[in-house]
Amino acid sequence: MKFTISVLPGDGIGPEVIEQGIKVMEAIGKRFGHTFDYRYGDVGGIAIDRTGSPLPQETIDICINSDALLFGAIGDPKYDNDPTAKVRPEQGLLGLRKALDLYCNIRPLTIFQNLKHLSPIRPENLDGVDFVVYRELIGGIYFGAKGRKEDGNYAFDTCEYRVEEIDRIAKLAFAAARLRGKKLMLVDKANVLETSRLWRERIQQLAKENSDIEVSYMFVDNAAMQMIVNPAQFDVILTTNMFGDILSDESSVLAGSLGLIPSASIGSKTSMFEPIHGSAPDIAGQDLANPIATVASVAMLLDHLKLEKEAETVRAAISELLERGIGTADLKGLEARSCSQVGDELAKIAAG
């Protein structure tokens, strides 16, 4: 089959890890008889340097007309160190989410047996940990009315949700639970927030229509604690934009390195796949970055294209490499290889 993939490498280590992701996609394409037609675009700091905008219209056009989008990372210290800068790389990512209507962010957490020592959690508490966070991405308090009043000493942010926004992500979360452990937990603050009460009402209703799924509810403060003391209890976590932002970052720590965790952002027009880490300026340009998060994002992209066997092949390649005790320098205790060497190895294993 033939697919059009837009590729936005971005800044810092973005282009380095994306190169490895493409190597693996190419190996999969050859092995399973698919053609991936890549369309490259600029986003973030590099786009500002080249065009003055962190998200040029040309990039949006490339993305809208593709089957899926592979994204590296954005961010540059020259903007991080200048809080007054009006045009910023992060606007590229937020703009993409809005422009492509990327409403559902998915972050799976896998614990690799021989990397348990890297986690801040006791190894015995990591047994059986395998969950995924479904975070609503373009609504809630991050996008509601906000502002300052009077003398500037009063500020407000508004949290708003509509039933349609809840239903469309809930549908994806129920479908995911059906393919996993058949458990879905809504994380909210329904004892305090009206929007959370609307989420609960809707999920209670949808639970009746999805009676094969065990549905439960947890307040976000408790969930933040449970993720540390008993993370194995979770299967699919469904939550709002801000709670998901915080919980998914907390969950990522369990795995032991930022360089391991992929993500997907599902949209109504197209969908985007990206490692969760940033542009890591401290190691950029040194061939040190861990490309596994990006390669695992490629696996999620392949799943999204309904190439499940191909996606499984990529995940198996990652597991095999780590089981052999090979990884990048952030995976302390493994035999250290460069970013490009890990990419070569993964592509070789994926090629069969």
Where in the sequence numbering do the catalytic residues fall? 142, 189, 221, 245, 249
Closest residue by Cα to residue 283 from 17, 9, 8: 17
- Which positions from 4 through 43 interact with ligand NAD, judged by CB under 6 A? 13, 17
The reply to whether 282 sits near ligand NAD by the rule CB under 6 A is: yes
Neighbours of 132 (CB within 10 A): 21
Kindly list the distances between the CA atom of residue 327 and the CA atoms of 113, 331, 344, in Å, as whole numbers in the listed order: 14, 6, 12
Does 73 participate in binding ligand NAD (rule CB under 6 A)?
Answer: yes
| Nearer to ligand NAD (CB atom), residue 92 or residue 231 | 92
And the tokens for 113?
A: 């047996």
Q: Which of 25, 289, 296, 314 binds ligand NAD (CB under 6 A)?
A: 289
Q: Note whether 311 binds ligand NAD by CB under 6 A.
A: no
Name which of 63 and 177 has its Cβ closer to ligand NAD: 63
Alpha carbon of 75 to those of 9, 13, 202, 245, 272: distances in Å?
Answer: 11, 10, 37, 18, 18
Distance CA 160, CA 170 (A): 17
Cβ 215 to ligand NAD shortest distance, Å: 31
Q: Which helix (H) or strand (E) holds 146?
A: strand 146-149
Binding flag, residue 330, ligand NAD (CB under 6 A):
yes
Task: Considering the complex, state which of residue 75 and residue 267 has its C-beta at the smaller distance from ligand NAD.
Answer: 75
CB of 48 to ligand NAD, least distance (A): 12
Cβ-based nearer residue to ligand NAD, 5 or 17: 17
- Stretch of residues binding ligand NAD (CB under 6 A), selected from 122-130, 151-159, 234-242, 272-280: 272-280
**Interaction residues for ligand NAD, span 89-128 (CB under 6 A):** 90, 93
In whole angstroms, the minimum distance from the beta carbon of 296 to ligand NAD comes to 11
Q: Is 58 in the site for ligand NAD (CB under 6 A)?
A: no
Q: According to CB under 6 A, which one of 23, 277, 304, 337 is a site residue for ligand NAD?
A: 277
SS3 143: coil
Residue with smaller CB distance to ligand NAD, 186 or 317: 317
Q: Which CA distances in Å does 350 have to 5, 51, 228, 262?
A: 19, 37, 34, 18
Residues 6 or more apart whose CB falls under 8 angstroms from that of 18 comprise 7, 9, 70, 72, 294
CB closer to ligand NAD, 94 vs 224? 94
| Largest pairwise CA distance in the chain | 66
Which residue type occupies 165?
E
Q: Which of 56, 75, 256, 267 binds ligand NAD (CB under 6 A)?
A: 75
- Cβ 44 to ligand NAD shortest distance, Å: 7
Q: For tokens 């040190």, name the residue.
A: 288
Give dist(CA 23, CA 255) in Å, integer. Answer: 24
Which residue(s) pair with 327 in the sheet?
Answer: 336
Q: d(Cα 224, Cα 250) in Å, to the nearest integer?
A: 8
Q: Which residues have CB under 8 Å from 150's CB, separation 6+?
A: none
Nearer to ligand NAD, 3 or 273 (CB): 273
Region 228-267 residues binding ligand NAD, contact defined as CB under 6 A: 258-259
Judged by CB under 6 A, does residue 278 bind ligand NAD? yes
Residues contacting ligand NAD: total by CB under 6 A: 21
Tokens encoding 270:
């197209």
- Give residues in contact with ligand NAD (CB under 6 A): 13, 17, 73-75, 80, 90, 93, 258-259, 277-283, 289-290, 293, 330
